[in-house]
């Protein structure tokens, strides 16, 4: 009853979850910092019950860690943790691609993936890729990966991939924006798109091992992007997820 019209659409729990996630990823809540329920109530404007729900969900999401004595703290990640999360996602996406290849995909189901591939081609072929192009690349890339995952037709696997990709630095598009300011940008984009093309081809020809291997290697591009971005320390602001890293990157 206390709500105005514009907010009525989403639940208080979701609103609290979004607000807290934003606070964490933006770095305003530092890794290791304890999250006060009362404080969260003040900043989010909702009561303790939905705040607690949101905290539990964020813990399952991997952004928070339960404190043994009670409550939650912001999780801290090492660079190794991030690289492992990327490798993990690659392994899972590799399994999805192998399932799709081994089990076969109807031409009708493969259609959307090929369309997505063609859309990506449009972007990659322009030589100086504009920053706006990178933004839309992020969305289209996410769509390609989502479609590919679905082709596994395996709900348990899709669920696990979603969970693994929930951490922003592990998502398929996690470090794409870092490319936009790197000299190697265009090369990496071309290679990534080649991976996309190969995996579609492998699925179509039911080459399971090939599809799996290329998706694993594809994920490692994200690891390369991360390392490159950490070398040239500039433009780390493009990667809010790095606010969660343990020691080095805090400005």
Partner DNA sequence: TTCCTCATATATGTATACATAATTACCGCT
Partner DNA sequence: AGCGGTAATTATGTATACATATATGAGGAA
Give min distance, CB of 16 to DNA, in A. 8
Q: Which 70-109 positions form the footprint of DNA (CB under 7 A)?
A: 70-71
Q: What is the spatial distance between Cα 199 and Cα 181, in angstroms, rounded to a whole number?
A: 27
- Identity of the residue, 50 or 208, whose beta carbon is nearer to DNA in the bound complex: 50
State which of residues 84, 150, 201, 204 lies at the interface with a copy of itself (CB under 8 A). 84
Stretch that binds a copy of itself, among 55-63, 129-137, 182-190, 224-232 (CB under 8 A): 55-63
Quick one: DSSP state of residue 76?
-
Q: Which 34-63 positions form the footprint of DNA (CB under 7 A)?
A: 34-38, 46-50, 52-53
Is residue 136 a contact residue for a copy of itself (CB under 8 A)? no
Decide which of DNA, a copy of itself, none touches 37; Cβ closer than 5 to 8 Å per partner kind: DNA
Stretch that binds a copy of itself, among 87-95, 119-127, 175-183, 234-242 (CB under 8 A): 87-95
Q: What is the spatial distance between Cα 98 and Cα 218, in angstroms, rounded to a whole number?
A: 14
Q: Which residues of 151-163 are buried (b: 16+ CB within 10 A; e: fewer)?
A: bbebeebbebbee
- What ranges in the chain are assigned the alpha helix state H? 12-25, 37-44, 48-61, 79-103, 107-125, 131-150, 155-166, 176-179, 185-204, 208-231
Give the binding site for a copy of itself (CB under 8 A): 49, 52-53, 56-57, 60, 62, 80-81, 84-85, 87-88, 91-92, 95, 99, 154-157, 159-160, 163-164, 170
């Amino acid at each position: 009853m206390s709500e105005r019209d514009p907010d009525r659409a989403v639940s208080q729990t979701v609103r609290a979850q979004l607000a807290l996630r934003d606070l964490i990823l933006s770095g305003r809540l530092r890794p290791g910092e304890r999250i006060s329920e009362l404080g969260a109530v003040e900043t989010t404007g909702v009561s303790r019950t939905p705040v607690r729900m949101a905290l539990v969900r964020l813990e399952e999401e991997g952004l928070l860690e339960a404190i043994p004595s009670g409550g939650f703290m912001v999780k801290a990640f090492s660079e190794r943790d991030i690289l492992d999360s990327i490798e993990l996602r690659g392994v899972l996406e590799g399994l999805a691609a192998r399932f799709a290849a081994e089990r076969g995909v109807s031409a009708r189901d493969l259609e959307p993936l090929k369309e997505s591939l063609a859309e990506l081609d449009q972007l990659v072929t322009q030589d100086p890729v504009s920053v706006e192009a990178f933004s839309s690349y992020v969305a289209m890339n996410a769509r390609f990966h989502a479609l590919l995952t679905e082709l596994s037709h395996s709900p348990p696997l899709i669920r696990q991939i979603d969970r693994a990709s929930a951490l922003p630095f592990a998502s398929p598009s996690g470090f794409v924006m870092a490319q936009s300011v790197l000299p190697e940008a265009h090369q990496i984009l071309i290679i990534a798109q080649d991976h996309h093309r190969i995996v579609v081809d492998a699925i179509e020809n039911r080459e399971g091992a090939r599809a799996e291997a290329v998706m694993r290697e594809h994920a490692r591009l994200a690891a390369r992007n991360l390392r490159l971005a950490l070398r040239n320390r500039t433009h780390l602001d493009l990667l809010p997820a790095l606010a969660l890293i343990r020691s080095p990157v805090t400005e």
